[in-house]
């Protein structure tokens, strides 16, 4: 009888223990299901790369608009767009008919002066023969006045001829290529207005873009870089010709790692790349992508995972506690020491390890020590 009672008690105790164990496991399961769910990612040990990207329109370094300096009508345009010309080649001939007519009128006036001078000389000779002193003086003054008139007319004729010689044709000031023609035969272009545009390909081409100060600091003057033509995808070699402060400012306009709005503006550098290639004409779109490896090395994470408070920078990682009834996971606030950074990534010099699990997303706000469940 006693044995039977003992056996029954043992069975009941075992059932009780099993039920308690089941209830405990069930309770843990329910509690775990109610915990904040987190998504994690591992830090990466790799070199930090600074990417410098930009695009711009290729323009000739030497470009000149040739103007109508006389205001005369255009008689003939001798060149077309994209035509290659030599220094001294005639580009445009102007209609100098009005100026030629003025020269003819002045030359007729000069002949009239010649006839008038003959008459004055005859008067002078007659005055001397008659001994009329007053008539002699009068004839002398007339001859001197005639000399002045003749000098004025001859000067005007010479100036008109010089104008026709200099302004009658427009010639190329250097070897180049015509990129734009703004006039046609018979057109009237106002004085000082452009007629055509001439570029000098031998001086090379250039394009410019802006980059953040930190990224631009990795470039050196006269450094060779690869440039891609957007349309043809052809790769050309360019040279960093200029790095100057840009007047433009760029604000991040986003959220700082600590959760505060970023209202700061970062300064930029203007970078000018020079290109020399016979196929270039100007007006092509150019792209550049330059990668520079940072000197510092360490664990690299995305900058958006980094948070800040009054004590410095930190990240949340997942800590694990093992037990016979199952493992529990905790959100741990881990202080880190940061190093060099690019636009999207930052080096962690201390505080993180390759096997850490960084919390990148949580279903609920977290604090240090909160229990969490993994996604």
For residue range 156-189, list pLDDT tens digits in order: 888 888 888 888 899 999 898 898 899 889 888 8
* Residue 256 pLDDT class (50, 70, 90 cuts): very low
Report the alpha-carbon distance of residue 291 to residue 326 in Å, rounded.
47
Beta bridge partners of 359: 40
Report the alpha-carbon distance of residue 343 to residue 125 in Å, rounded.
100
- What pLDDT shows up at residue 254? 33
pLDDT above 80 for 111 = yes
Least confident range of 17-21, 242-246, 333-337 = 17-21
Report the alpha-carbon distance of residue 200 to residue 68 in Å, rounded.
20
Percent of the residues in the chain that have a pLDDT greater than 90, as a whole number: 23
For residue range 132-141, list pLDDT tens digits in order: 778 778 878 8
pLDDT above 50 for 257 = no
For 49, other C-beta atoms within 10 Å of its C-beta total 12
- What pLDDT shows up at residue 79? 93
For residue range 198-233, list pLDDT tens digits in order: 988 888 999 999 988 888 888 999 999 999 999 999
Domains and CATH numbers, the chain: 34-48+295-374 (2.40.420.20), 51-60+202-246+266-294 (2.40.30.170), 70-181 (1.10.287)
Least confident range of 60-69, 175-184, 271-280, 290-299 = 290-299
pLDDT above 80 for 65 = yes
- What pLDDT shows up at residue 48? 84
* Residue 34 pLDDT class (50, 70, 90 cuts): low
Rg (CA), the chain: 45
Give the H/E segment covering residue 77.
strand 74-77
CA 87 to chain centre: 32
Among 280, 282, 246, 237, which residue's Cα sits nearest to residue 265?
A: 246
Considering the entire predicted model, what is its pTM?
Answer: 0.57
- In this prediction, residues 13-31 reach a mean pLDDT of 58
Task: Supply φ then ψ for residue 296, to 5 degrees.
Answer: -70, 145
Report the alpha-carbon distance of residue 119 to residue 170 in Å, rounded.
45
Report the alpha-carbon distance of residue 259 to residue 184 in Å, rounded.
64
For residue range 302-333, list pLDDT tens digits in order: 988 899 888 899 999 888 887 765 678 888 99
Report the chain's mean pLDDT, rounded to a whole number. 82
For 115, other C-beta atoms within 10 Å of its C-beta total 8
Give the H/E segment covering residue 144.
helix 133-167
Task: Supply φ then ψ for residue 252, to 5 degrees.
Answer: -70, -35
For residue range 228-253, list pLDDT tens digits in order: 999 999 999 999 999 999 875 544 43
Task: Between 50 and 6, name the one with better pLDDT.
Answer: 50
Report the alpha-carbon distance of residue 204 to residue 315 in Å, rounded.
51
pLDDT above 90 for 57 = yes
Percent of the residues in the chain that have a pLDDT greater than 70, as a whole number: 85
- What pLDDT shows up at residue 33? 53
Least confident range of 4-18, 268-282, 340-354 = 4-18
pLDDT above 90 for 118 = no
pLDDT above 90 for 280 = no
Beta bridge partners of 209: 271
């Amino acid at each position: 009888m006693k044995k039977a009672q003992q056996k029954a008690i043992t069975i009941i105790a075992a059932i009780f223990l099993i039920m308690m164990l089941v209830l405990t496991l069930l309770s843990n399961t329910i509690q775990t299901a109610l915990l904040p769910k987190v998504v994690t990612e591992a830090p990466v040990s790799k070199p930090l790369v600074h990417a410098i990207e930009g695009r711009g329109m290729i323009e000739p370094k030497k470009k000149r608009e040739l103007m109508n300096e006389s205001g005369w009508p255009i008689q003939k345009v001798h060149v077309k767009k994209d035509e290659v010309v030599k220094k001294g080649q005639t580009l445009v001939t102007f209609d100098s008919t009005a100026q030629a007519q003025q020269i003819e009128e002045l030359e007729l006036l000069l002949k009239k002066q010649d006839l008038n001078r003959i008459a004055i000389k005859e008067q002078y000779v007659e005055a001397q023969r008659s001994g009329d002193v007053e008539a002699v003086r009068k004839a002398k003054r007339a001859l001197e006045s005639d000399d002045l008139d003749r000098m004025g007319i001859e000067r005007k004729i010479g100036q008109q001829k010089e104008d026709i010689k200099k302004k009658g044709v427009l010639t190329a000031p250097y070897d180049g290529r015509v990129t734009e023609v703004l006039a046609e035969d018979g057109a009237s272009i106002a004085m000082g207005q452009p007629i055509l545009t001439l570029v000098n390909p031998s001086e090379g081409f250039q394009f410019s873009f802006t980059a953040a100060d930190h990224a631009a600091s990795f470039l050196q003057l006269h450094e060779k870089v690869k440039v891609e033509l957007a349309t043809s995808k052809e790769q050309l070699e360019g040279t960093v010709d200029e790095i100057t402060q840009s007047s433009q400012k760029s604000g991040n306009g986003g959220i700082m790692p600590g959760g505060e709005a970023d209202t700061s503006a970062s300064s930029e550098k203007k970078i000018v790349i020079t290109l020399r290639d016979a196929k270039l004409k100007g007006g092509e779109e150019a792209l550049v992508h330059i990668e520079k490896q940072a000197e510092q090395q360490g664990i690299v994470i995305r900058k958006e995972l980094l948070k800040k408070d009054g004590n410095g920078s930190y990240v949340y990682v997942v800590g694990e506690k093992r037990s016979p009834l199952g493992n529990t996971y905790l959100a741990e606030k881990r202080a880190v020491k940061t190093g060099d950074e690019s636009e999207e990534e930052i080096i962690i010099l201390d505080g993180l390890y390759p096997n850490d699990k960084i919390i990148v997303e949580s279903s609920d706000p977290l604090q240090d020590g909160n229990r969490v469940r993994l996604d």
